[in-house]
Amino acid sequence: MRFIAVGLVVLGFGTCAGAVDIEQQASAVEADVIEWRRHFHQYPELSNREFETAAYIARFLESLDIEVQTGVAHTGVIGVLRGSKPGATVALRADMDALPVPERNDLPFRSQAKGLYNGEEVDVMHACGHDTHMAMLMGAASILADARDQLAGTVVFIFQPAEEGSPLGEEGGAELMVKEGVLRDHNVDVAFGIHISANRDVGSVTYRPGGMMAGVDDFQILIHGKQTHGSRPWSGIDPIVTAAQMINALQTIVSREVPLTENAAVVSVGKIRAGVRSNIIPESAELVGTIRTLDTDHRELILAAIHRKAEAIAAGMRATVEVKVPYSSSYPVTYNDPELTAQMVPTLNAVAGAENVKVVDAITGAEDFSFFAREVPGLYVFVGGKPLDTPTEESAPHHTPDFFIDESGMKTGVKVYAALAMDYLKANADE
């Protein structure tokens, strides 16, 4: 991997003859970006089921005379744009999948979609902004396709399914894309990714060198007791009471065992399933949760502690237990290559204004862009999507029914995608 230590030429801002005016081009394509986003938002699809979404993106890329490959990691779409001269290869990635979340927003394009999630019918919503990511990358593809005669190198557009995790029993997401050779086959040198934020102001760009987002593992704990009548609990083994004690004990892992002055960590139980009616103590109970860590040693500590606590509590309650961790998914820490980050910060400053570009603390959210960044140097940034007149404490979190994005924030994302690709290719052009 090469990094050429030269001053960047931010092509989007007219600093050299024949430069592409990204500001002007982003303004010209903004209405289309909003239209594309609204289409994706109204017709969301769950992980590994993004069939119509993929077809829509493929048709668009083909209209730009970009080479298109479909069916990658089940439903992913790859677009390859070759510049007029040889050079480096940049990957730009956007995720495609929606979430099993009902929408409460009163929007004319609100989702009313349904889908199957692990065998259950659920409401489906783009409750994390992946609809905006796809639209922003499509806008950048339009700008870069128009500028192909000025590009020295190649841009690979990665529209990735299943960022939120594959259905049980299936592979998917960035991990499968890497396994299938997306980066290797296209000789990708660096990868850039963007996430919109409902809690950061429109126009802002935030990043962090090194560990940007947590690694994540999910877990499942199956507790096996002995069913009995609810009036005679002593004649059975209660898996629900056992589960309750386990939940409380799991919270002490972070509060009492992890050295939090070094890095943050989280253990959360997100699902409890047990029983069918009030007067039956059931035979089994299930707990499903998530683990977030920013340090490999802390991850190993937590995984071992979950096994230890679950098994000890089950034994004390005369129950038996099965612990699966990781259960269905495991993402590494999202790591921004420090050298690449330093090289591209002037581009972020030029796009958004230095006063709007900030270094932030690492967060305990997770991203499977980490699989790309584990293979090649990567840079992952956030762009703001919160209305300026909305206090941060009143903006709905991601993954909730009230999640809302100010569409004016997408223009910044379009510019960031396009400028990162242009500037990296310019700075690393073959002589």
Which residues belong to the active site?
A: 331, 407
The token duo for 44 is 């969301």
Q: How far apart are CA 356 and CA 200, in angstroms?
A: 11
Please answer whether residues 211 and 331 qualify as being in contact, where contact means their C-beta atoms are separated by less than 8 angstroms.
Answer: no
With residues binned 3-state (H G I as helix, E B as strand, rest as coil), the percentages for the chain, rounded to 5, are: 35, 30, 35
Whether 136 and 143 have beta carbons less than 8 Å apart is answered as no
Q: CB under 8 Å to 396, separation ≥6 — which residues?
A: 198, 402, 403, 404
Question: Using CA atoms, how far apart are residues 290 and 375, in angstroms rounded to an integer?
Answer: 25
Check if the beta carbon of residue 97 is closer than 8 Å to that of residue 113. no
Torsion angle (degrees, nearest 10) of CA 345, 261, 296, 99? -70
Closest of 126, 403, 165 to residue 270, by C-alpha? 165
> What is the helix (H) or strand (E) element at residue 246, kind and residue range?
helix 239-256
Element (H, E) at 89: strand 85-95
Find out whether the peptide bond into 167 is cis, omega within 30 degrees of 0: no
At 284, which helix (H) or strand (E)? strand 284-293
Among residues 403, 424, 409, the alpha carbon closest in space to that of 125 is found at: 403
Which tokens hold the place of 417? 């995608």
Rounded CA gap, 185 and 145, in Å?
21
